[in-house]
Structure 1
Amino acid sequence: MNKEPDGRRRPPTDGLPRTEPMSPMQVRQNVAAKRMLRRLVQGENPPTAPLSIVDRLAGSPYANPMIQVGGVDASARKTIDFALKLAESMFRYGAGALEVETSIIAITAALGLKNIEVDITNQSVAINYAPKDQTPISLLRVVRSWTNNYAGLSQVHQLVTDIVAGGVGREEAVRRLEDITRSAKPFPRWMVTVAFGVFSAVFVGVLGGGLGASMVAFISNMFVSLLARQLGRWRTPDFFITASCSFLVTIIALLLWRFGSPVGIQIAPAIVVVGGILLLLPTGRLVSSVQDAINGFPVTAAGRFLSTMLTFGALVAGIAVGFVVGDMTGMEPIDVTETFPPRYDLWVIVVLIAIAVLMIGITEQTSVKLLLPTAAVGVVGYLVLIGGDAVGIGSRFAPALAAVAIGLLARVVALRMGAPQLVVAVPAALILLPGLTIFRSMYVLTIEESEILIGAGGMLNAGAIVLGVAAGIVLGDTLARPLTRSLASNERRRARRR
């Protein structure tokens, strides 16, 4: 074997190219290149790694909660009980499944609980806590009742924000939640009843009705509100309450059109009925069901959607029975193709829209500080609606576009005011629903049997508009998330200073 003069072995000379050793700089560049290639192929995480439950908070107002304790909470059962009671309150007040889930994850993480799993199915919430080498805890809570209380939902949202900010411990949080659930609603019952009538009166004016039609709508909806309250005392199912109310408002309008009003004013029954049925539509439930379906809660969305369709069916059933009773009294055929030109100038209609949204906020028991911002969002949505009609985008797409604007503005306004987006979006978007289309389609289906296909097509059109509005609100909320990250963090900083 050949050796060098100093005794070292001579490298083989077999014709292969000689490889020079890499410098430290080249080694680092090679490692960096391999790391970059691995990221491009696999992503930041391994492809089969499970999603951490805290990652569900991304995009919500509760991202990056401040952990108040180090390690596992010794009294985990009390924390889980509190989380379940808070979730039940949110469901009762109308929150969506995603908001309930993120609230549970945020407060349990902030109070020191790891290794939890949350399962929400329609009207039940289950939490499983399984720390390593310890006995797991599984608790379930079923929500059996609902109520209109957007003010309470806003207070619960603020409580969760304060917990995530690290400024509220568990004992104080339990006390505050008890105060929220036991406190009275912001508006008394008589004010809600008057708000029902005022909304109907002003919305009839928006649709093109005169003072006589608005007066009839006000009186009939006062009776509708009283009827719903009495049937509620008798524990009547919601289906029959909605059907009875829609029948009452329909038959009053038809009888006054058939026999004439006491003051001798000819009243078009269509706009009177529309003013009465809009508040009976399950708008909040429909928005929540679409939101749950989009956000990955199919079972919860299916349950809420079925409940929404039952309410919608009760509404149209009451209108249909009213048409049948009116036809039995010798009612002349109604021209369902009749259009109603505006009775007032645009600025007057804008004022009426603002009043209508204010009245919806009162019926939904929105907190007083949110009434005017909600009315402003509703006015902007209405302006987008008429703008869309003016440029010719169609009667189906214009309400959806207006709903996107409402959903976007509602998230910004709600987070700035310390409330969830739903509290502002639902009252503001109610004016977008196609009440006239529902009335005309039900009349054709019930009375004009030869035009049943036209009536069925009209109902499908109304359903498409309603779903478009609900989906538009959810899309607007999604589009506003990058714009509201600073609002959520500012809210938590204010909570810490308190």
Structure 2
Amino acid sequence: MLEARELNLTLDFCLRVGELLLSSGAGAADVTSAMQSLSWQLGARNPEVDVTFTSLSMSYQVDPEEPAFVLIRQVKQRDIDYEHLTQVDHLMRDVLNGDCELKEARTRLARIVSSGHTLPRWAVTLGWGAMCAGVGLQLGGDEVVVAIAFVAAVCIDRVQMLLARRRVPFFYRQVAGGGVATLIAVGVAALPPVDLDLSLVVSANIVMLLAGIGFMGALQDALSGFHVTAGARLTEALLATAGIIAGVSGGLQVGDYFGVAVGRLDPGTGADLKGVGLMAAGAAICAAAFAFAAYAPRRSLPVIGAVAAIAMVISQSGNATGFGRTWPIATAAFFVGLVAYQLAARLRVPPLVLVVPAVVPMLPGLSIYRGLTLLTEGGDQASEGLLAIITAASIALALAAGVILGEFVAQPLRREARRLESRLAGPRLVGPLRARPTRANRRERRERQDG
């Protein structure tokens, strides 16, 4: 039985790990499972864990006749940081394997949180630019559209970073981002020799602001049984999209004031797609650039791009053969979840680092934007907007369900493959067969080293 001081440090450590996981985009079910596993390994068996969108709480009662220990921690920062997430994942594995005690684990966690990044901030800005350029290529844009998308994304990131340093609320940062994207597109369209499809340009520009990830995360939490967190994520996604709508409409009004004839803007429709190969190339660039901007380990970037390209080919091939849109996307998401679990173990990164960037090119952010825009116009457009939102919900549900099912299938397959390899392997001509050491073997090895 743990002493009061050690129990308090254990619960605090689990809460800090859960806070970093939740702020990096992990689902509530994964965060809860990680906190429970860590507390069990460190001696606090069967704690009560409650995870919501903005806070985490953890309680443990040693005896029914004694008061319970209750600790609460607020989630204040939500910047996706896959570098720190990978480091914390390695720390959790060391703790669960018995290779790291509580004191050392707390020291390593504090070092991870307080340390910066090896990647400079200007490189992250270029990463966002490359992501939007990949989206422009995926939507069928030409060189001008790709170049404008890159420049607009760089400007949007710089503006939002400046506003974030001044603690401007998230909604107003979305308004500013949508306004900057639209003003750049309107300014380029006002030039005499340039003939652009503004809907395509704005679609490529605002994709970095869209809330497809939050919408899919909400449905993932709902499928996992965390409905309160799912509702909070959904509210944030819709509020973020509403901010973009306000910014885009404001930019269009500025263009009208200066006499730039824009006409009806319909982001999300895009131009005629130029083939599955071009879409796959754009998806690979978009996914790898998103992972790069989120500080993912560089060894994972080529794999993320390849998985995203294959997933895009699967989704578009199924759509072209008449299977509709939802089932091909669900199949592509199942493929991502299935291979991400296997590849993540080889790359020594959490599967989340591979899954989220790989599905970014298929996220329904543009459909959410288009649906809300048409709903605000009212009249005959309302029914079309409602249809667009329902379509976005079905796509997000297909992505979340496919990824979760792929993870469920991949885990027992990997265990059975390891057992089969151990049973069938005899004298091998190439490649070592390494058995995973048990905790007793590792403890015995450490005792021999210390002695």
Matched ranges for 1:296-307 at <5 A: 296-307=225-236
> Residue 126 of structure 1 aligns to a residue in which SS?
strand
**Are 1:116 and 2:47 an aligned pair?**
yes
Matching residue's letter, 1:350: A
Q: CA deviation at 1:249?
A: 1.0
Are residue 430 (structure 1) and residue 354 (structure 2) matched?
Answer: no
2: CA distance, partners of 1:456 / 1:266: 31
The answer for the alignment partner of 1:84 in structure 2 is: 15
Residues 186 and 255 in structure 2, CA contact (< 8 A), matched pair in contact too: yes
Q: What is the rounded CA distance, in whole Å, between the counterparts of 1:217 and 1:107 in structure 2?
A: 44
Instruction: Name the residue aligned to 1:340.
Output: 271
1:341 Cα offset (Å): 3.3
Once the 2 structures are TM-superposed, how far is the Cα of residue 239 of structure 1 from its aligned partner? Answer: 0.9
Matching residue within 170, 195, 201 for 2:133: 201
Offset from partner CA, 1:443-497 (integer Å, 9 cap, x none): 6567796544334433443343334333333333333332244699999759958
Structure 1 equivalent of residue 117 of structure 2: 185
**Relative to 1, partners in 2 of residues 1:452 and 1:91: Cα closer, same or farther, differing over 3 Å?**
closer
Deviation larger for 167-176 or 319-328: 319-328
Equivalent of residue 313 in structure 1, options 238, 242, 257: 242
Cα distance, 1:487–1:285 mapped onto 2, change above 3 Å:
farther
Query: 1:189 Cα deviation (Å)?
Result: 1.1
Give the 5 Å matches for 1:32-431.
71-72=1-2, 75-132=6-63, 134-257=66-189, 259-260=190-191, 264-328=193-257, 329=259, 331-334=261-264, 340-343=271-274, 347=277, 349-431=279-361
Amino acid at match of 2:349: A
Q: Indicate if the aligned counterparts of 1:83 and 1:107 stay in contact, CA closer than 8 A.
A: yes
Q: Residue 183 of structure 2 aligns to a residue in which SS?
A: helix
The superposition leaves residues 241-284 of structure 1 with CA deviations (integer Å, 9 ceiling, x where unpaired) of: 11221222123223433x236xx231211222121222212344
Which sections of structure 1, spanning at least 5 residues, go unmatched? 1-70
Counterpart amino acid of 1:341? D
Residue 210 of structure 2 contacts residue 369 of structure 2 at CA under 8 Å; is this kept in 1?
no
C-alpha contact 2:279 2:312 (8 A) present in aligned 1: no
Q: Report the alpha carbon displacement of residue 108 of structure 1 after superposing the two structures with TM.
A: 1.3
- 8 A contact 1:278–1:435 mirrored in 2: yes
How many Å apart are 1:148 and its aligned residue? 1.9
Aligned letter for 2:8? R
Query: Deviation at 1:113?
Result: 1.8
- Are 2:136 and 2:282, in contact at CA under 8 Å, matched by a contact in 1? no
Q: Percent of aligned pairs with the same residue?
A: 29
Is the 1:193–1:226 Cα contact (8 Å) retained in structure 2? yes
In 2, the alpha carbon distance for the partners of 1:88 and 1:202 equals 32
- CA spacing shift, 1:254–1:159, aligned 2, 3 Å: same
Q: CA deviation at 1:427?
A: 0.9
Change (3 A) 1:281 1:472: farther
Report the counterpart of residue 425 of structure 2 in structure 1. Answer: none
> Aligned equivalents of 2:438 and 2:127: distance in 1?
35
Report the number of matched residues. Answer: 424
Deviation at 1:384, TM superposition (A): 0.9
Q: Relative to 1, partners in 2 of residues 1:488 and 1:180: Cα closer, same or farther, differing over 3 Å?
A: farther
Q: Distance between the aligned counterparts of 1:409 and 1:366, measured in 2?
A: 18
Corresponding position of 1:453: 383
Encode CA deviations 1:348-390: one digit per residue, 9 max, x unaligned. 5534332221111112221222222222221121111111112
Cα shift at 1:87: 1.6
**Deviating 4+ runs (over 6 angstroms):** 486-492
CA distance in 2, matches of 1:342, 1:494: 54
The whole-number CA distance in structure 1 between the counterparts of 2:378 and 2:223 is: 38
Further displaced range: 470-479 or 418-427: 470-479
Change in Cα spacing, 1:334 to 1:480, as seen in structure 2 (3 Å) is same
Q: Return the offset for 1:170.
A: 0.9
TM-score norm. by structure 1 comes to: 0.76
TM-score by length of 2: 0.84
Give per-residue Cα distances to partners, 1:92-144, cap 9 Å, x unaligned: 22222112111111111111222422222332222212123655322211222
Larger radius of gyration: 1
Q: Is the 8 A contact 1:274 1:439 kept in 2?
A: no
C-alpha displacement at 1:173, in angstroms?
A: 0.8
1:237 to 1:339, Cα distance in 2 relative to 1, 3 A = closer
1:320–1:443 CA contact under 8 A, matched in 2: no
Q: CA RMSD in A?
A: 3.0
CA deviation profile, 1:67-109 (whole Å, cap 9, x unmatched): xxxx545622221221122222222222221121111111111
Q: Unaligned regions of 5+ residues in structure 2, if any?
A: 420-433, 447-451
